[in-house]
Amino acid sequence: MPIEIPRRLHDRMVEHARAEAPNEACGVLAGVEGKAVEIFPMTNAEASPTIYRFDEREQLRVFDEVERSGWDLLAFFHSHTHTEAYPSPTDIRDAHWKDPVSGEATPAYPGTRYVIVSLAHGSPDVRAFTFESGEPVEEEVRIT
Partner 1 sequence: MTFTEDQVRRYARHILLPHIGGEGQRKLTEASAVVIGAGGLGSPAAMYLAAAGVGRIGLVDFDAVDVSNLQRQLLHDTSDVGRPKVESGRDRLLALNPTIEVETYRTPLTSANAFDILGPYDVVVDGTDNFPVRYLANDASQMLGKPLIYGSIYQFEGQASVFLPGEGNPCYRCLFPEPPPPGTVPNCAEAGVFGVLPGIVGSIQATEAIKVITGAGEPLVGRLLTFDALAMEFTTVKLRWDPDCPVCGKVPTVTELIDYDAFCGLAPGEAPPEAERAPEVPA
Residues that bind partner 1 (CB under 8 A): 45, 52-57, 59-60, 63, 73, 76, 93-94, 97, 100-101, 108-109
Q: Give CA separation, 43 vs 4, 46, 110, 130, in Å.
A: 24, 9, 23, 23
Name which of 110 and 122 has its Cβ closer to partner 1.
110
Residue 93 C-beta: closest distance to partner 1, Å: 7
Name which of 68 and 101 has its Cβ closer to partner 1.
101
DSSP string, 74-138: EEEEEEESSS-SS--HHHHHHTEEE-TTT--EEESSTT-EEEEEE-SSSS-EEEEEEEETTEEEE
Residue 108 C-beta: closest distance to partner 1, Å: 5
Name which of 8 and 61 has its Cβ closer to partner 1.
61
Phi, psi values for residue 128, rounded to 5°: -125, 145
Residue 64 C-beta: closest distance to partner 1, Å: 9
Q: Using CA atoms, how far apart are residues 72 and 112, in angstroms rounded to an integer?
A: 8
Name which of 8 and 57 has its Cβ closer to partner 1.
57
Residue 58 C-beta: closest distance to partner 1, Å: 9
